[in-house]
Chains A and B, each alone.
Chain A
Amino acid sequence: MKRQEIIENIKVRAGKDILDFQDRSKNRIYFTVSNPALVPLVKYLYNDAGARFITASGVDTRKAIEILYHFSIDETGLIVSLRVILAKPEPETETLTGVMKGAEWIEMEIHEMLGVNFKGHPNLRHLLLKEDWPKGNYPLRRDR
């Protein structure tokens, strides 16, 4: 699917839920979307636009937790990044594991590193940290 077509489709589907759009370069576009619009957009990208989920980057910007979901449209080399902004102190969002299993591990990682609760995740245990890691202690948080 062409780049412009994808941009238009996302804009039509999300409408007012798009808080920001950045057209960085030929192969990189970034959307900031409101939380409820995330799963439908991911379903569109994954099921209809032929996107592959690369990974998600969790960032503590001090004000909030941001998660960027990076998708690759391998046909054209385009990377679409969807950013959601989650309020502290207890950030939470819907899981993407219902759409693709490849999201399972990275959500576990963001959960343990940044304390994000992914609602509906089948197995939100520790992936990288020990199981007895102190509760509420998140290594990539910047608020302490």
Chain B
Amino acid sequence: MARKIIPIGPYHPLQEEPEFFKLHVEGETVVDIDIDIGYNHRLIEKISESKSYDQATFLVERICGICSTSHPFAYVNAIDDLLAKDPPERALYIRTVIGELERIHSHLLWLGLAGHFLGYNTVWMWAWKYRESVLDIFECVAGNRQNYAMMKPGGVRRDMSKEDFPWIKKTLQGLLSKFDMFKGAIMDDPVIRARTEGVGVLTKDDVKTYCVVGPTARASGVAIDVRKDDPYAAYDKVKWNVVTQEKGDVFSKTVVRVLELYESVSIITQCLDKMPDGPIDAAIKDMPVGEGIGRHEAPRGEVAHYIMSDGTNTPSRHKIRAPSFMNIASNKKAVVGQTISDATIILAAVDPCYCCTERVTVVDRGTGKKVMTGQDLVRLSQEKTERMRKT
């Protein structure tokens, strides 16, 4: 059978990270995939060497627009490790609250997009509607709905006001019934199950060899979570559970993310209840010569930062590793052997950017003629759901 190539990506205004997948297909089946990244490479690691430790926090906050606090969080953890000194306790609690609020809004954003690709546009609209209330909390706490600028080496940049706590708690409690609704919609819907169960499976062995992290790993029964394994901030001071599923398919990945929403609300509520009074900043004066490694469990998995200091006020080396760097490579395993109409949701299931499918074109290798657009591919996926609904 003739082999055709479907290019997906690399750019779309809605994408959080540009990347370029070339799906090699024979008929309906994906037989190989080439992955190209680097379209948005800004060499931030090099720029960081010219910034002071304080400025670098703002720099790394601009790596990702969706989980904008993940990199600053890992970065300040690396500085804490380098200094071998914990920030004031109140700052640790505030960091935890910010990290978990971000997880809620990021998972809701993913859930909405996943719904859209499966042809459930109501899920999309609702998930994004309820995400707004989390962004409102951010606006109240940080003054910004994105890029909160809360992290700071040695503490946090802004304090949280006790007067806001009842409202924040009430808003989050209000979200729980909405999460119940999403959980019901996903768990009980036979069509969603048919579209996602057994699709794009990553086994435990795949997770190990591709060094996959975050919800993508936890959906395959690998219970890794930096918050539990190497506790930082206030994660060891509150009670919560690592959510895992066993099957490693798209369904499991969805379930992990939905159940994590509940854990995040619980963590934030406990943090607000337990938050001690006191200073929020350790006011670091000098940086010693040395090395530090900081990790944070971002919504997509472990973010790792490595800092090498020569004692000046700028890092002499700043290595950054985002979770998608490990997770996207695993698509090679998950997508091969699946059908084109399932490819969009499988590529999406590791939670990279996938609005790029808007830019998809199917090109006939022989003639170079475009035979399908990106919208066609989304339509293919949505039509498959529609067919299943009817039968």
Interface residues of A (CB under 8 A from B): 24-25, 27-28, 30, 52-55, 57-59, 68, 70, 72, 74-79, 81, 100-106, 126-130, 139-140
Q: What are the residues of chain A within 8 A of B295 when measuring CB–CB?
A: 54, 72, 79
Do the beta carbons of B43 and A101 come within 8 Å of each other?
Answer: no
Do the beta carbons of A68 and B306 come within 8 Å of each other?
Answer: yes
Q: What are the residues of chain B within 8 A of A76 when measuring CB–CB?
A: 229
* Among candidates A24, A77, A126, A127, residue contacting B229 with C-beta atoms closer than 8 Å: A77
Further pairs besides A24-B84, A77-B229: 11, Cβ < 8 Å: A53-B211, A55-B304, A55-B325, A58-B319, A76-B229, A77-B231, A105-B326, A105-B329, A127-B38, A128-B41, A129-B38
Do the beta carbons of B293 and A81 come within 8 Å of each other?
Answer: yes
Do the beta carbons of B306 and A70 come within 8 Å of each other?
Answer: yes
- How far, in angstroms, from A128 to B81 measured CA to CA in the complex? 29
Interface residues of B (CB under 8 A from A): 37-38, 41, 43, 45-46, 81, 84, 208-212, 224, 229-231, 290-291, 293, 295, 302, 304, 306, 308, 317, 319, 321, 325-326, 329
- Given the known A-B contacts A77-B229, A77-B230, A104-B329, are A52 and B306 also in contact in the complex, defined by CB atoms under 8 Å? no
Do the beta carbons of A129 and B321 come within 8 Å of each other?
Answer: no
- How far, in angstroms, from A105 to B321 measured CA to CA in the complex? 11
- Given the known A-B contacts A25-B81, A102-B211, are A54 and B229 also in contact in the complex, defined by CB atoms under 8 Å? no
- How far, in angstroms, from A77 to B329 measured CA to CA in the complex? 24
Q: Which of B81, B293, B304, B317 has the most CB of A within 10 A?
A: B293
How far does the Cβ of B34 sit from chain A's closest Cβ, in whole Å? 10
Could you name 15 residue pairs across A and B whose Cβ atoms are closer than 8 Å?
A25-B84, A28-B293, A30-B291, A52-B211, A54-B321, A58-B319, A72-B230, A77-B229, A77-B230, A79-B295, A81-B293, A100-B208, A100-B211, A101-B209, A127-B38
Do the beta carbons of A74 and B229 come within 8 Å of each other?
Answer: yes
Do the beta carbons of A75 and B229 come within 8 Å of each other?
Answer: yes
Q: What are the residues of chain B within 8 A of A59 when measuring CB–CB?
A: 308, 317, 319
Q: What are the residues of chain B within 8 A of A55 when measuring CB–CB?
A: 304, 306, 319, 321, 325
Q: Which 6 A-B residue pairs are closest in the complex by CB-CB distance? A: A102-B211, A77-B230, A128-B38, A57-B319, A55-B321, A128-B41
Q: Which of A54, A100, A106 has the most CB of B within 10 A?
A: A54
Chain B at the A interface: SS class = mixed
Do the beta carbons of A127 and B84 come within 8 Å of each other?
Answer: no
* Among candidates A25, A54, A101, A140, residue contacting B210 with C-beta atoms closer than 8 Å: A101
- How far, in angstroms, from A105 to B84 measured CA to CA in the complex? 31
User: What residue of chain A has the Cβ atom nearest to residue B326's Cβ?
Assistant: A102
Q: What are the residues of chain B within 8 A of A70 when measuring CB–CB?
A: 293, 304, 306
- How far, in angstroms, from A38 to B38 measured CA to CA in the complex? 29
- How far, in angstroms, from A50 to B141 measured CA to CA in the complex? 41
User: What residue of chain B has the Cβ atom nearest to residue A47's Cβ?
Assistant: B208
Q: Which of B37, B81, B208, B211 has the most CB of A within 10 A?
A: B211
How far does the Cβ of B376 sit from chain A's closest Cβ, in whole Å? 29
Q: What are the residues of chain A within 8 A of B37 when measuring CB–CB?
A: 127-128
